[in-house]
Structure 1
Amino acid sequence: MKHYFLILLFAFLGGNGVAQQAVVRQPNGTLTLEKIPNSPPRNIIFILTDDHRYDALGFLNTQTFIQTPNLDRLAKNGAYLPNAFVTTALCSPSRASILTGLYAHKHRVVDNNNPVSKHLIFYSQYLQKSGYQTAMIGKWHMGGEFDDPQRGFNYWVSFKGQGSYLPEKNGFNVNGRKVPQKGYITDELTDYAMDFLQNRKKDKPFMLYLSHKGVHADFIPSERDKGRFKDHTFKPPVSMAVDSQKDAPMWLQNQRNSWHGVEFPYHSQLDIGEYYKRYSETLLGVDTSVGRVLDYLEKEGLLGSTLVVYMGDNGFMFGEHGLIDKRTAYETSMRVPMLAHCPDLIKPGTVVNEVVANIDVAPTFLEVAGLKMPKYMDGKSFLPFLRGQTQPWRTGLLYEYYWERNYPQTPTMHALRTDRYKYIHYHGIWDTDELYDLQEDPNETNNLIHQPAQQSTAKKLNKDLFDILQQTNGMSIPLYEDRGQRNDLRSKKGAKAAEFPVYLEREGKNEK
């Protein structure tokens, strides 16, 4: 019995003291996928931005200082996907889900500090094996502070960690060689993208993954865009006001006065409106980059046949629910912009209303390449929707976030988002869960979890949530050693701790 116990323990700990599950991969690690008949490979450009919230697009007119003419051009001449989401609103987990088609609890890159398993297979490896020229240019940021070339890419330009908008000592890693950063990072990454496109082998299909640092905090716009929106006025969101939310969890009320709250943002007196305007000025550089890519494709006669997909890696809150940043399961955290352009496939002005996610990117690109997706992936291809076709689709999207010691304000959570409802389930805290009717309450200000009329809905969504977790081997919470600093202060001048909720209070010890 002792030997049997030790074998089980080792399997659970993975041999290095870290609880983990076996990483999902192709049988025998093969990179050869079955081809789709009569589906020749198509060029792909994937542009990923950092912390770009879903409604920060000029044509949506949410703030006067949001101006994105080239992204608007993509939407007008291609497809706009208003219901695009990430399954974890955090840089590294989201990027790993994009590259693998897996939920975070499968790829195990659950935060920004822990390494990527060498057994994970990226969609770029499948494309490379099938004959694609592949390039990764920009922010990698998975597994710590390194910039070494990664598997699946013929051409590589990256930087350590978050990188820097302006030149600094670390510079870039260009195909394994250290190269100084010369200028503004968004412009320079686009220069490298142009270099790859111009010098590629013209007889092979290509996949360019252009991964911008922009618009990650701390926002620094280019000199040409600095101060562009200084005279504009910020319209604060409805849920930014104190007491704007009914039956809000205690953790959320307390987070107002924290590193990620509007009362003590980054432990400072930061003005949220001015911060948002600086973000928008920084976004102008990304928009200019998109314009350069589109202009190149048009000049080379490739604009009609190349699939260009633009996406954010997670959202970003500017006052919603009294917060800044991301991580939560609220719409402005987990919802992202997504645009797709390919005139040969997509009619101008197409709107895809289905809920698509970062786990769907890899399966979609594989189908565009004429390859059948591996069965182990959690996502599905949304290419038929871009073509105006229909197909069976998910009825609810799983969201997951695991507590980080660095930012202890936000608890571990799982959520299920359907077309109408969102159910958020918390772990390890004495607090309330949340239920929102997104049709009646798009700002998520009225928590229905204790409403008698909504109990059957909450019960069903709870069951559906755990069914998905069971089916995808997600019934464990990862535990890792401490890494990084803790940002856990409160301001003495800020709001006091939330009152214990009255719905959990009773008169006497014998009352139930």
Structure 2
Amino acid sequence: MLIFIPKMNYKARFAFLFFSLLGAWQAEARQKPNIVIIISDDHAFQAISAYGSKLMQTPHIDRIAREGVLFKKAYVTNSICGPSRAVLLTGKYSHKNGFRDNENSRFDGSQYTFIKQLGAGGYQTAWIGKWHLETQPQGFDYWKILPGQGQYYNPDFLTMNGTTQRTEGYVTNIISAEAEAWLDGRNKNKPFCLVIGHKATHRTWIPDINDLGKFDKVNFPLPATFYDQYHHREAARVQDMSVEKTMQMAYDLKMLSFIKKEEPTISRMNPAQRQKFDQYYQPIEADLLARHLSGKALTEWKYQRYMRDYLSTAASLDRNIGRTLDYLDQHKLTDNTIVIYLSDQGFFMGEHGWFDKRFMYEESFRNPMVMRYPGVIKPGTVSDHLVLNLDIAPTLLEAAGVKIPPAVQGKSMLPLFRNKPAKGRDAIYYHYYENGEHAVSPHFGIKTNRYKLIRFYKRVNAWELYDLQKDPHEMNNLYGQSQYEKITADLKAKLQTLLRQYEDEEAIALTNQVIN
């Protein structure tokens, strides 16, 4: 950069040069896009109207899609909370970043993250809300996080100075307010990257007081697979995540007479909150007890309650996403800010009779993701490319003009939006490790646009194959059928290629293992 310096005395020349360089540096900083990542927990694409959902309207998530891109084929590498966040931060698979499951893993904060890379590139960085990685954040200029899963009402926050603060109110609203407070106090001369981690819509789906009863007049149709019998799918048969058997009356559905002790999530409410909570749920419980339901009638009652609480919790989430977008508008940040909304994974909304996630089946494996990048992504774009949460780190580094380290395993998504879009993936890889809660067997596999091949191990030792074109609900396991031998061999070969590419030695050994 050349700067013309007019004739003047020494002090004047020095001041001129200093302020010229400062102005040039600030102009460069302003050209770097700001970044806001909003990540929710367990939010199903089936509950988002941009994805065609008839369950509820999500106008603010839809706004991001309308002003940017809707990813119709966005997936995760490991469908569970902590591991998904570790993948987001590092751009590396779980076996590379070290956080494989929520039972035994602790995030090694000393390793590379895209946040550290952005910080070195001049960005101011913050994470506010749900973190769930068992160790304190490293590499951020600021953080304020929920301990563990956090609480819906009057949540505690861990702070950088080592204290724990309790804040009165509803967690989704509080996280949004904390994010705004950080934005208000940030260094306005530096670009920023802010991650807003919402607790919603994680179990146990406790709505904001203002949203109680929002869907009580809706009778939700049962999913076509609600009474799935899991024929020829042993891993699905042995799971423990069903609405019928696993969903708890008190813990999940707030029918408090079904236990003798207080639920901690409810007892932390203040008197005013508790009064409104009881005014809503106690008549529902009295009606249930008077009806003496059992069998399928009780299961379907539980399903309706689950849906009403889940979607009411999601309503607050969408409203607060709108609040964040409004803040960017009001502070004239919209035109130079990338906004990404995603969930940490998908979620079952009664499909196969389930809630929760973990499986490589579509409802869990596929996650909602929308992205707005003014001037780069054309508004109203709909992408059918196979993308992963693994790709967010390199995408943001490229957008910021920061070098992408060789260890990053994801691919920048920005080439997909250029005039001559790059060719996307023809297959994606998944690996789930946890072998405890909900009795879901560890497994890994490959998905192409048409087929999915899954290898279960440990709890269940089996392969599964699905033709997603003919069987989108994944009810008919085709593995071992004679007419699918060539397709199976081709998929196994592609799987081996991906395993070598991502250096997953454990999965390579299991792929080659013969199952009797």
Give the match's secondary structure for 2:329: helix
Give the match's secondary structure for 1:325: coil
Distance in 2 (alpha carbons) for counterparts of 1:361 and 1:253? 34
Contact 1:50/1:216, CA 8 A, preserved across alignment: yes
1:457 alignment partner in structure 2: 487
Distance in 2 (alpha carbons) for counterparts of 1:116 and 1:172? 17
Distance in 1 (alpha carbons) for counterparts of 2:194 and 2:244? 41
The equivalent position to 1:95 in structure 2, one of 85, 94, 111, is 85
Per the TM alignment, residue 41 of structure 1 is displaced from its structure 2 partner at its CA by: 2.0
Q: Which amino acid aligns with 2:473?
A: N
2:317 corresponds to 1:330: no
Q: Which has the higher helix share?
A: 2
Larger radius of gyration: 2
Which deviations, in whole Å up to 9, do the C-alpha atoms of 1:388-424 show, x marking residues without a partner? 64113322111001132344x2111011011111111
Distance in 1 (alpha carbons) for counterparts of 2:109 and 2:326? 37
2:135 corresponds to 1:154: no
- Identity within the alignment, %: 36
Distance in 2 (alpha carbons) for counterparts of 1:393 and 1:99? 22
2:96 corresponds to 1:106: yes
2:70 alignment partner in structure 1: 80
Per the TM alignment, residue 40 of structure 1 is displaced from its structure 2 partner at its CA by: 4.8
Q: How does 1:159-308 map to 2 (within 5 A)?
A: 159-168=146-155, 170-173=156-159, 176-243=162-229, 247-255=231-239, 258=240, 260-266=241-247, 271-308=302-339
Q: How many pairs are equivalent? A: 432
Per the TM alignment, residue 281 of structure 1 is displaced from its structure 2 partner at its CA by: 0.7
Q: Which amino acid aligns with 2:349?
A: F
Per the TM alignment, residue 267 of structure 1 is displaced from its structure 2 partner at its CA by: 5.2
Structure 1 residues 449 and 387, CA, compared in 2 at 3 Å: closer, same or farther? same
Give the match's secondary structure for 1:204: coil
Contact 2:416/2:424, CA 8 A, preserved across alignment: no
Per the TM alignment, residue 361 of structure 1 is displaced from its structure 2 partner at its CA by: 0.6
Per the TM alignment, residue 78 of structure 1 is displaced from its structure 2 partner at its CA by: 1.4
2:383 corresponds to 1:352: yes
1:132 alignment partner in structure 2: 123
Give the match's secondary structure for 2:317: helix
Contact 1:249/1:433, CA 8 A, preserved across alignment: no
Distance in 2 (alpha carbons) for counterparts of 1:464 and 1:341? 33
The equivalent position to 2:504 in structure 1, one of 430, 450, 474, is 474
Structure 1 residues 231 and 38, CA, compared in 2 at 3 Å: closer, same or farther? closer
Contact 1:352/1:386, CA 8 A, preserved across alignment: no
Distance in 1 (alpha carbons) for counterparts of 2:339 and 2:87? 19
**Further displaced range: 298-307 or 214-223:** 298-307
Per the TM alignment, residue 118 of structure 1 is displaced from its structure 2 partner at its CA by: 4.0
Structure 1 residues 68 and 445, CA, compared in 2 at 3 Å: closer, same or farther? same
2:472 corresponds to 1:442: yes
**Further displaced range: 293-302 or 307-316:** 293-302
Contact 1:115/1:142, CA 8 A, preserved across alignment: yes
Contact 2:343/2:368, CA 8 A, preserved across alignment: yes
Q: How does 1:6-155 map to 2 (within 5 A)?
A: 40-64=31-55, 66-113=56-103, 114-143=105-134, 148=136, 150-155=137-142
Contact 1:172/1:181, CA 8 A, preserved across alignment: no
Superposition TM-score, scaled by structure 1 size: 0.80
Structure 1 residues 378 and 68, CA, compared in 2 at 3 Å: closer, same or farther? same
**Further displaced range: 207-216 or 292-301:** 292-301
2:411 corresponds to 1:380: yes
Per the TM alignment, residue 429 of structure 1 is displaced from its structure 2 partner at its CA by: 4.9
Distance in 1 (alpha carbons) for counterparts of 2:375 and 2:195? 21
Give the match's secondary structure for 2:212: coil
2:458 corresponds to 1:428: yes
Distance in 2 (alpha carbons) for counterparts of 1:131 and 1:392? 31
Structure 1 residues 103 and 285, CA, compared in 2 at 3 Å: closer, same or farther? same
User: Where does the alignment leave 5 or more consecutive residues of structure 2 unmatched?
Assistant: 1-27, 250-297, 508-514
Contact 1:434/1:448, CA 8 A, preserved across alignment: yes
Structure 1 residues 73 and 435, CA, compared in 2 at 3 Å: closer, same or farther? same
Give the match's secondary structure for 1:99: helix
Contact 1:347/1:387, CA 8 A, preserved across alignment: no
Which deviations, in whole Å up to 9, do the C-alpha atoms of 1:475-497 show, x marking residues without a partner? 227xxxxxxxxxxxxxxxxxxxx
Contact 1:40/1:369, CA 8 A, preserved across alignment: no
How well do the aligned residues superpose, as a CA RMSD in angstroms?
A: 2.3
Distance in 1 (alpha carbons) for counterparts of 2:178 and 2:224? 41
Contact 1:79/1:386, CA 8 A, preserved across alignment: no
Which deviations, in whole Å up to 9, do the C-alpha atoms of 1:361-408 show, x marking residues without a partner? 10011011111311111100002224564113322111001132344x
Q: Which amino acid aligns with 1:248?
A: H
Per the TM alignment, residue 467 of structure 1 is displaced from its structure 2 partner at its CA by: 2.7
Q: Which amino acid aligns with 1:447?
A: N
**Further displaced range: 381-390 or 311-320:** 381-390
The equivalent position to 1:412 in structure 2, one of 425, 442, 455, is 442
Per the TM alignment, residue 172 of structure 1 is displaced from its structure 2 partner at its CA by: 4.0
Contact 2:44/2:349, CA 8 A, preserved across alignment: no
Distance in 2 (alpha carbons) for counterparts of 1:422 and 1:77? 32
Distance in 1 (alpha carbons) for counterparts of 2:228 and 2:423? 42
Contact 2:179/2:196, CA 8 A, preserved across alignment: yes
Give the match's secondary structure for 2:151: coil
Distance in 2 (alpha carbons) for counterparts of 1:388 and 1:353? 16
